[in-house]
Structures are given as C-alpha cells and as structure tokens.
Structure 1
Amino acid sequence: MKKSTLALAVALGAIAQHAGAAGFIEDSKASVSSRTLYFNNDQRDALSANQRSARGVDQRETATGLKFNYQSGFTQGVVGFGIDAQALVGFHLDGGRGHHPNSNSFVPSDTDGSAVSSWSSASANVKARFSKTEAHLGGALAPNLPILIASDGRLLPQTFEGGTITSKEIDNVTFNAGQLEHATGRASSNSTGLAVNGGSKESNQFRFGGADWKVTKDLTLQYYYANLEDYYKQHFLGLVHVYPISEGQSFKTDLRYFDSSSDGKNGQAGYGFNNNGGYAKNANEVDNKTWSAMFTYALGGSAFMVGHQRVNDDGGFVWMNQGSVVNGNGGSEGAGGSSFYLFTDSMINSFVRAGENTTFGQYSYDFAALGVPGLKTSIAYLHGDNIKASNGSGDQSEWERDMRIDYTVQQGVLKGFGTTLRHGAYRGSGTGIHDQDQTRLIFNYTYSFL
C-alpha cells in the first residue's frame, strides 16, 4: 500500500469517530454537475478529406460527463478535520472510428483505437484546519496557482494526488505549499506519474511554495517556486494592479515572469524535453525565461485587452503535465492536458516556443450592461513570430483567432443552466503544426443537494 493511501485510511478512521460533531455535517456541501461537449477539430492541411476521416484526424465527437462532489465541514476543536470526495464518469455518445484520434485528451481510446464507451474515477482527501491554516492530504486536489493549474477545459477535470497547505495567518498574505505525486488526466480512469509537458519519463515529486501579498486593495504581488524532480526548477514573479478611474471604468495591469532551469536527470535518456517542437540551446534540457504583460481597459460592459509575450531564445516554456502513458495499440489513454499561467494558453495553440514574440488582443462584452444578465461574448487574436525552428533559424510564425459566446439562465426551473459556443482557427507558417479549425459546444448544469 502506498504511504499516501495508508495515511488517508488512518485519517478517515479518525474522522469517522467525530463525524457527528457540529460543523462536520452542518457545513457540508454536495452537488452533481453535468457537462455535455460536442468537439469538432478539423486539421485542415493534414491529409486529404478521405484520409482525414479514415485516420481519425478529422475529429467529431460528443460526450457527457458527470461530477459528483462532496465537501464536508470541519469537526469542532482546536484542530478541525473533514473530508472532500469526488467521483467522475464520462460517456461517449457519438463519433465512431474515423472521427476519434487515437491520441487525445477528450475521450480515452480503447486498445483497437476506437473511443471507449465510458470511463470513471474516484478520489478523496482528508483535510485539517488550525486557525487560518488548512491542509489537504490525498486525491481530488485541483490547484489553481501560477506554477500549476488543474485543467478543466474539456469534459472532465484533471485532478492531483498529494498534500497541500494554505495559510492566511498573516493579514493580506496567502501562503501556498505542497507536494504532488500523481495525477488523473482529463480523459483517463487511471492516475499516472508527473512529467514536464513533452516529457515521457515519470516523476513522482512536484514540490512548490509561494505567496500572494495583497499590498493594497488594488495591488497584488506574487512569488512562487516549483521543482519537478529530474525535470526543472522554476521561479515565478507576478504583479496585478487595478486602477479605478471612475464608476464602471478601470485600467488593469497584469505582469508575469517565469525563470525555468534544468534539474537532476533532465537531459539524460528518458528525461528529455522536446522544447515544444522548437529549438533548444542544449538539446532536451530545460532552459527558459518568459515574460508576459497584459493591459485591460474596462468601460461599462466592454473590456479591451492588449498584451505582449516574449519567450527567450534558449528553449521553449515549460509546465508540469503527465507522462506519456499509452494503451495496447500505442495510443494515449487520456492522461495529461494541463493548463499553464500565461495569456497565450489559448483554445488551440500555446505560443511558447523558443524565441517566440507574441502580440495578442481581446475584446469582450457583458450584456448585463444592456439588461441581459448571463450573456457574454468575446473575440481574441494572437500572432507569434521569430519562432526558432529546431535548426536554430527564426523565420517561423503563427496566429490564432478565438471567438466565444456564453449564456447562463438566471431564473426559473433551468436557473444555472449554461451554454457555451467556442470557435477557433489556427494557422502556422513553417511551424510543423497542422492548420486547424476547432468548434466546441458545451452545456453545463450543477445541482446542489446541500
């Protein structure tokens, strides 16, 4: 039995003796969420139309996911204890052979390359609270930090296993620290070890620590450190400032900087890093500095955003993901799919290869300003150039255009029912990435029992 599993079992036994204590039951929350997603990904230049269909490159699939979530309150006493639990299940509804790629993070592949009919996973963690400090040990963890973001961009959310601590003992400062050992991907029933995005050898140790300091009500400073054993060490600095100009009018500045370097066995056989398909000063080794700046002017329901991002010339940006676990047919079993804390983490592409300069902009509108609450829309455009190819030349470029519209029912029987329509188009020049048109139609609903 793994040490983390044994510790979880012991803690559950102790909590069970106090489950009747006031607070544990009274403050509990339970819900079931459903998400139905139609996913259409047309890799336009990959092959002929017939070849795209035959080989499953022209992806068109529909699936429904259910998430059962339970969060207890805390038992009484100086140290309060509780439990968080989660069960996930996905059902493939449509999209047979020829429309299901054997390597994707939407629906798992069976051994013959077709989509599985269903998949599921369950996890739980015990938690303890002392004063303004809270600790979690076990699974069902979903970090949302600059150095790690649990992805929820497809049907089911990605979850992690390990231990985390959050402390607010100092006014206006939030400390976060922890160690993660495994993750369950967005389209997988199994947990796997961790790896740098693009790596194949699994690591079972991702350690992190850092703090968010709210200097004033309008200014927040951040620093985080992360270490994925035998892959990379990473420092992050962030600044967020909102300047209120007048009622309904503001100007926001958001600055982010990452400094990543090699750790341990990185660069050795099995511990390589493909540098996001681009150039690396030292082949397969992590060596990167990336800065990003975004400025947003908000007026009424409108928000105008512009920004720029620069990836240095030595290697591509890195973030934590999962190892490349394959099934019996050589296809992905659905592990992976992490997000990362940069403005270019867009619908289709990432814009994070060595040397890349990306300029981006977005316009969004909240129709609540016109008396239609729940309706929002946005359009974004990103253009990256000076990308260094694997041979060191820097003449590659790429662009992406994303559009979305969201509506959430505000009242009545269907209150909380949400619909999202997204469309993205990607084109690259010499990048080696297929031109793509992608459409997603999503229906969300959450019912709370407690």
Structure 2
Amino acid sequence: MLSQKVSGTSAGLWLLVPEFQRLGVWDLLKGWTKGGDMDFGPRIALQAVNESALCTNRVRKKNSLGHQGFQLANGMGRLVTDEQVHLLLNGHTMEDAQDLLVNLGRQRQLSGHYRGDIVAIDPHRIISSSQRVMAKKKKVPDAPSEKMLQTFFAVSAETGQPVMATMSSTGMPTTRATKNLLTATEKIIRTDSLLVADKEHFTRELLTEVKNNPRFDILTPALSTQRINTLVKGLNYTRLWAGFAIAETPFCFEGSHEAFRLIAQRCGEKEGQYSYKTFVTTSDRQASELVAGDYDKRWSVEEFFNFENKMDLNRASTQNLNIRYGKLALAMVAQAATYQLRTKLKEEYRTWNAGHLAAEVLAWADGDIRVQDDTIIVTFYQAPAHLNPNDYTNLPKILQRENIDPRIPWLYNFKLDFRFK
C-alpha cells in the first residue's frame, strides 16, 4: 500500500509518529510484547495506542477512521480484529503493564515531563458495565454503591502529567492500593517529594508507611471527627491575613504513640463564625507553606482526569484486570505522546483537552500519504492553523539534530516528512 498514494482523513495522526520516536515508544512496546521490529504484536499494541489517542473506542469498527491512513500509521495494511487485541492484552499480566508504565515514566522523566517536588495522588473510579458479581463501592459519599473499577494515579503537580497508575478491583482497600502505587512511583521519581492526597488517605497505616519512607512525605486532610474538632478549637492560632489563621499540634491516632503534625486552618474574623480545616503531615515544611500553597496543587490530579478522561479513562466494560491494566498502560503511552504534541501547538490551542485535540488535529485532518525514495511524505491539503510548519518540515534533519534516528522501525525503516499546501 505504501507504493501507492493514499488519500484519507487520518493524516493528522501521523503527527504523533515523531513524538513516538522521541519517547522510544516502539522499544517500550517491543519490550511489553516481547516482539521484534518485524513482529505483529507491537503493531497491534501501536494500533491500541493510536485508538486511545483518537479518544475512540473500537476504531476498527469505523471504516471512516480506519481507512488506509490510520492502519498505515501502525505499520500494517489492515486493521486488526477485536479478538486479536483481546488475545494480546489477555496474554500479559498486570505486572507486565506496570513494568511498561515504569519504563514509560522513566522516559518521561528524562524528557522533562515532571518538574517540582510535589506529587498529587488520588483514586479514579470508573463505573463498570460488567455482569460479574463483585463488591460495590460509592463513587461519592451520597451516591448509591455501584460496580466499578478502581484506578489510582500519581501526578506531577506542577505539570499535571501522570507519573504512575495502578489498578484494582473494588475489593482492594484504598490504603493498600496506595502503598502499591507509591512502590511503583518510587521507581520513577528519584527526588524527595511531598505527596498531597485527599481524606481517603487519612489512615494510620498509610501515614506510618510514608513516615518510614525516606523518599516521601505526605499531606492529607484529617477526617472531621469529634476528637479532632474538639482539639483544634482549643489551639492558639497565628493570624496570617484577614480571615485566615493557622495553628499546629502533635497528633496520634487512638491506640498509637506514633506522632504526626496536625495543622489547623481557621477561617473567619469573629468568634462564633469560625470554620476549620485540619491536615496531618509527615513533612517538616512550614505550616503556612503546606496549607496555603502546597495543598492547592492537589487539584492538578483532578484537572488531569477532566482533561484526559476521554482517552480511555472513562470506560470499564470488563473486570479482567490483565486486559484493563494493559489497556490503561497503552492509553498512558498515547497520553505521553499527545502531551508532547500539545507543547508544539500554538499557545492559544494548548488548552485543548484530549477529545478536542483528537477531533481537531488527529482524526479529521485531510491529506495524502506517499513514498518518495526512502521517505514517507504526509501532505496536508490545508496548513493547520494550530501548528507551526517549521516543527515538521524537513523532519529527518530535525530528529537528527536531537540525536534521534529518523528511520522508523515499524514503518520498515522509512523516514517521515511533512508538507503543508
């Protein structure tokens, strides 16, 4: 098919190819599938990655998206079937998926995707349509219990980019799942970091675990119990500005002598109108810095969920965790590549979420694909307003200046270049 000129609407998807090269995605997929450059397994995985980038489930059922340009980007002359994707995912374990995510995270660390020393952690629960009998859980406290899949994320608070993700059934307690998440995150983040969490993480087991870990500290809101409410009302507060004061005191869980810092935040100017928020931490940072600055960065993880939710983070049709964790890992590969692509968009377009980026840039860009000598030429019939053509014209030379081999292994060592007309 490469010997012919191909016309299609998937020309924009080829913009991800140089980002895959920069991230070493092909080597990651070969390692996960244990395949080589000429094997089919890594190409099936690459198709799943590109499906996630398009925010479209089962793109292989949609001929308009799957026609020619899409399948060629995966190094294949056709689309693979549902069964082939299922067999590939089911042939790998959760441990395999976690290894893929760790290797991806290390590459992202080298690529500068993570900055700062604050990591936000949070569960992300997905309502499941599975017919299995399973434990049910509440997504929010006042909602009915439902079948769902639990995912747990660690996100760089400064850049909003995911460091690590783990997965479990609803039967797994949050504390135990979070300990698994931190064990994996520690393989990627090599600097001392502050974890900012929510009330679900306010447990003696988790706080003690983090306190004994030299790599991490944690800051989490305390539950509003009668004991804590009585304690904070009797503290001496230091006024920082109008309507805001803080205080702190040592705190031990009932039946334990392990001491933590309890920081109380008081809002209001008049006695009788005060409201309180309390936090427990293992950090030795200043209390004002923790509650008035660091904790607000926890919302970066919620912004990540909202921003990237359509990239296969909102579906859970099966409870086979080998399949779901493998699919999540491949979606995170797509997310890493689209993040790098987004940094090359013009400033006003960088706030596009995953669905908008897929619709406006990746899925429906009109163009043709042809081969000239040893290079695949992708021509856009209309220069996209959101791109700078200089980032893609003469792409092989650009990659060589970055010390990246411009030959694309899954495209049989052809190079790639772009034209804008």
| Richer in strand (by share) | 1
| Richer in helix (by share) | 2
Query: Is TM > 0.5 for Structure 1 vs Structure 2?
Result: no
TM-score by length of 2: 0.22
Q: Identify the structure with bigger relative contact order (alpha carbons < 8 Å, sequence gap 6+).
A: 2
TM-score by length of 1: 0.21
